[in-house]
Chain A
Amino acid sequence: MAKVMEPVGAVVVGTGAAGSLMAAVLAEAGKDVLVLERGHARKMEDLYSSQTWARRLKWGSPAVIEEGPDSIWYNFNAGHGYGGASIHHYAVWPRYHEDDFEVQSRYGHSLDWPFGYDELRPYYDQVQEEVGMSGDAEKETWRPPGAPYPLPPVLVSNHGNVLARGFEVMGMHTAPIPMAVLSRPYKGRPACIWDGWCDAGCPIGALANPLAVYLPRATKAGARLQPDAHVTRVLMDKSGKRATGVEYYTPEGEAVIQPADTVVLCAFSIENARILLNSADGNNPNGVANSSGTLGQYLMSHPAVGINGLFDDDMQNYLGATGGQLLCQDVFDKNGDPGGAFGSRQWEIGLALKPNDLLGIAMSRPDIFGARLHDFMVDGARHMGSMVGVCEDEAQAGNRIELASQKDAFGFPLAKIVYKTSDSGNGLWRTAAEEGVKLFKAAGAREAWHGPKGGQHIMGGTIMGKDPARSVLNGHGQAHDVENLFLAGPGVMPTSSSINSTFTAKAVAMKSARYMVENWAALSS
């Protein structure tokens, strides 16, 4: 027998980039908000400066079964506990370009969004001002229109300056990377000290993770946070058209029903889809919000390539932010690939390096071991350069989230991912890998190489669209089928661009939250 709680106005599932923002906006508008988080509670002082300890922030369980030829690197990209994946994100926040919203109608590839850049622009501007972004809008010649950044650019050390040489030699240009990291004190938060521990979580709050900005705002406005609440289903009324709340389980295995006027799922791309698929009932046999049959489809991940090289210069590669120092989007033209692959690319240049972990010095050459390893580590610690090429992935219906035959501790099917990088994405990746090595050589590297294909960011699975027959959500993030059910996060995005997803996910969440506030009476009645 499930325990039934007192009803709330809005139950938000997830405390990450989207959930924290939704909770803050709704609570500040006077709504009664409860935020459920599957993982543990977490405070700033729990964020240790260590790449080894940083792995506590990444997803571990319940398992997500990955099938198909390629991986989306779920455990590395996802998170758990307060802050979700956003607690370990690198805060590289460029904007989507205008054409990223009209990829189908302009180019005949992927999908269209239900709105254009102009409609989202004010929300980009609002979020940017609220969290405090650093950058130089004028130097980003590729940047779509928008308010200038409130703060000057992030640190550029020798690392960035040396690598920029290569871009200059090859006729390309760079700009300070736009980041949600404070280059100056801002709204009571301190400036970054450029220690390169972003991946381990920023305990001083210079990086705009949820613990630094939106969760404190949410709780100050009265939102309540409930950790260790494993949401399993959205509960529906007898009509099958209205959500009545959610079901969750405590770590002790107790089932709890949380009634709510509105339900907001912000549990990241995979878990949002899994919850809705697991919510199937007599009225919604294929899952809630799935009359279109597209729930789980159009899963995307950015094919990414790491470039590393050794220089004679003292690179100061231990300084800066994990996400880099400079950005280049000269290669963003979706029809610009020399091999004919469709889609955009970008370079994130001068990532702060640590000795260990997936993006660290040692892992850049996993073939070196034994006595040679120490010499390589010593050389790399002073002389290694690093950058990442990020490529667009096409939206494909066959890339999807399904329910697996395996079940979690509470008896609910796990998520299964079937994913293959688009042919275009693979083509762009090959171009980037070759170009990156050339750029390093042009910058003066005595040795340069690229890593294997990785997957950055996870988008799609619960996409927005104008047509209810071909999408899960409308342009407000509202389920076509269920008026009082909203979703937010990168899962709602119908195209991937080659742009890091968090800023756009935040802007879309802000748009949805404002819509909910403005239409609250109708939604909650």
Chain B
Amino acid sequence: MKLTRRSFVDRAFKGSLLALTFKVGGATVLLTPEEARAQSVPLNNLSTSQAARLGILAEALVPGARELGVVHFIDHQLGEDPNEALLIAKYFGVALPYVNFYTTGIEIAASLAQDKLGKPMEELDAAQLEQLIGLMAPPGTVVDGFPIFLFNMCLRSDGVDVVYGTPDGFAKLNVPYMQHILPPEGWNG
């Protein structure tokens, strides 16, 4: 199914502005990342273990991001033409292809968990995950030549995109989404 303006807006009114085209059983369907996750749509760019770790980190950064499909969102976008990509990594001059940036970031985060906290990332509790992010987040932090702070910032932004960047997300914040509709009278003074 081609993503058209009409189908896009239809999805928007159902609560998400992140409807993307996924391959399911040989067919192309329009799903939100949340739906793709719920249906266990196969990932194309991240391995199972990479995806699991990415989900752990994203959830620790932005609660709710994992259930809303942040991993499927990122995995989907890693396969896009860089000019069409929706990842904020695009803004920071991250070297192409973006998949290398994400997989390296996941690998280094896992190494930090093991080396500094003595456990695989999957076994960290909430407080330890907070410690791990504290190791990654300070601006300018580089590990083995890799800007882990930038990876952390981008992943946090990806999480914010799926949790707060949609009409549902705006509703959580109690602010109007204001798609392009007629304005209420009097706004224009």
Interface residues of A (CB under 8 A from B): 39-40, 45-46, 48-53, 55-56, 58-61, 63-64, 66, 71, 73-76, 80-81, 152, 155, 183-184, 191, 193-197, 203-204, 318-319, 354-358, 360, 362-363, 366-367, 369-371, 373-374, 377-378, 381-382, 452
The chain B residue with its CB closest to the CB of A320 is: B187
Residues of A within 8 A of B8 (CB): 48
Asked if A61 and B96 make an inter-chain contact with CB atoms under 8 angstroms apart, the answer reads: yes
A369-B137 contact, Cβ under 8 Å, with A50-B17, A50-B165, A193-B182: yes
Q: Which among B160, B177, B182 has the greatest number of chain A C-beta atoms within 10 A?
A: B160
Shortest distance between the CB of B188 and any CB in chain A (Å): 6
Known A-B contacts A52-B86, A60-B84; A356 and B188 likewise in contact (beta carbons under 8 Å):
no
User: Which of B83, B126, B164, B187 meets A61, CB within 8 Å?
Assistant: B83
Contact B165 A60, beta carbon cutoff 8 Å = no
Which residues of chain B from 123 to 149 have any CB-CB distance to chain A below 8 Å in the complex? 126, 130, 133, 137, 139
Q: Is there an interface contact between A370 and B188, defined as CB atoms closer than 8 Å?
A: no
- List 8 additional contacts besides A46-B5, A52-B165, A362-B156; criterion CB under 8 Å: A63-B96, A191-B188, A194-B183, A355-B170, A356-B160, A357-B165, A370-B133, A382-B175
Q: In the complex, what residues of B have CB within 8 A of residue A66's CB?
A: 93
Min CB–CB distance A134 → chain B (angstroms): 10
- CB of B60 within 8 A of CB of A369, answer yes
Report B113 CB to chain A, min CB distance, Å.
Answer: 16
Given contacts A155-B187, A373-B62, A452-B139, contact A358 B88 (CB under 8 A): yes
Which partner residue on chain A sits nearest B83 by CB separation? A60
Kindly state whether residue B174 has any CB partner on chain A within 8 Å.
yes
Give chain B's interface residues, CB within 8 Å of chain A: 5, 8, 17-18, 60-63, 81-88, 90-93, 95-96, 126, 130, 133, 137, 139, 153, 156-157, 160-161, 164-166, 169-170, 172-183, 187-189
CA A381 – CA B86 in complex, angstroms? Answer: 23
Partner of B63, one of A46, A49, A373: A373
Contacts of A61 on B, CB cut-off 8 Å? 81-83, 96
Say whether B84 contacts A51, CB under 8 Å. no
Picked from B17, B165, B173, B189, the residue with its CB within 8 Å of the CB of A378 is: B173
In the complex, A76 Cα to B92 Cα: how many Å? 8
Q: Which residues on A sit within 8 Å (CB–CB) of B173?
A: 355, 377-378, 381
Q: List 29 A-B contacts (CB under 8 A).
A: A45-B5, A48-B8, A49-B178, A50-B166, A52-B165, A53-B17, A55-B87, A55-B90, A55-B91, A58-B91, A59-B90, A60-B82, A61-B96, A63-B93, A183-B188, A184-B188, A194-B183, A204-B180, A318-B178, A355-B160, A355-B169, A357-B88, A369-B60, A369-B61, A370-B61, A371-B63, A377-B173, A381-B173, A381-B174
CB closest residue in chain B, given A374: B63
B82 near A377: Cβ-Cβ < 8 Å: no
* A-B Cβ contacts below 8 A, count: 152
Most chain A CB within 10 A, of B81, B86, B164, is at B164
- Closest B residue by C-beta to A53: B86
B187 touches A366 (CB 8 A): no
- CB proximity of A404 to chain B, nearest CB, Å: 12
Report yes or no: A356 in contact with B161, Cβ–Cβ below 8 A. yes
Inter-subunit contact B164/A196 (CB<8 Å): no
**Cα A363 to Cα B175 with chains together (Å):** 18
Residues of the A chain whose Cβ atoms lie less than 8 Å from the Cβ of B93: 63-64, 66, 71, 74-75
Task: List B contacts of A51 (CB < 8 A).
Answer: 161, 165
Pick the 5 closest A-B CB pairs, nearest first.
A60-B82, A356-B165, A381-B173, A355-B164, A60-B83
What distance in Å separates the Cβ of A192 from its nearest Cβ neighbour in chain B? 8
Most buried by A among B17, B87, B91, B189: B91
Instruction: Please state if A80 and B83 are interface contacts (CB–CB under 8 Å).
Output: yes
Residue of A nearest to B60 (CB): A370
- Please state if B165 and A193 are interface contacts (CB–CB under 8 Å): no
CB nearest neighbor in A for B170 = A355
A155 near B156: Cβ-Cβ < 8 Å: no
Please measure, in the bound complex, the distance between the C-alpha atom of A155 and the C-alpha atom of B184, giving whole angstroms: 13
Q: Tell me the smallest distance from the CB of A253 to a CB of chain B, in Å.
A: 15
Are B170's CB and A58's CB within 8 A?
no
Distance in angstroms between the alpha carbons of A337 and B83 in the assembled complex:
40
Bound-state CA distance A193–B166 (Å) is: 20
Establish whether residues A193 and B156, one from each chain, have CB atoms under 8 Å apart when the complex forms: no
Residue in A46, A48, A203, A381 whose beta carbon sits within 8 Å of that of B175 in the complex: A381
- Chain B CB within 10 A, most for which of A360, A369, A370: A369
Quote the shortest CB–CB distance from B136 to chain A (angstroms): 10
| B161 contact set on A, CB distance < 8 A | 51-52, 356-357
Would you call B130 and A370 a contact (CB within 8 A)? yes
B84 CB to nearest chain A CB (Å) = 5
Known: A71-B93, A377-B164. A39 touches B83 (CB 8 A): yes
